[in-house]
Amino acid sequence: MSSIAPDHNTTLSDEPAPMTTSQMPEQGQAPNTVVNDQSGAQPPMVPFKERVIGVAKKTRGTLLGKPELKEHGEKILQGEASIHNANEPPSM
């Protein structure tokens, strides 16, 4: 059985420089992405419960072929309608 010896002909200049903590991407992010961009208007924050209902209505409308139900779900997700009435703005 033969063992493979490490190649001692490489120099330190052949190896990339190690990343510092300021250069490393945060967990769950791709390198070179903007972490916090506050340059534009932020969409309204829709509560979790309403987002779940909005996604459910959008999915149900798609599967059952009811475009008005799908549109209501989309409006809920955008913060433009309440979960009870498609024409009523959400109460904040």
The pLDDT value given to residue 90: 72
Tens of pLDDT along the chain (92 residues) come to 555 655 555 555 666 666 665 655 566 666 555 555 555 666 568 999 999 999 999 999 999 999 999 999 999 999 999 988 877 777 65
Report the distance separating Cα 48 and Cα 18, nearest Å: 40
Report the distance separating Cα 71 and Cα 56, nearest Å: 12
**Backbone φ and ψ of 9, nearest 5°:** -90, -5
The pLDDT value given to residue 74: 96
- Measured between its terminal Cα atoms, the distance across the chain in Å is 74
Look up the pTM and report it. 0.51
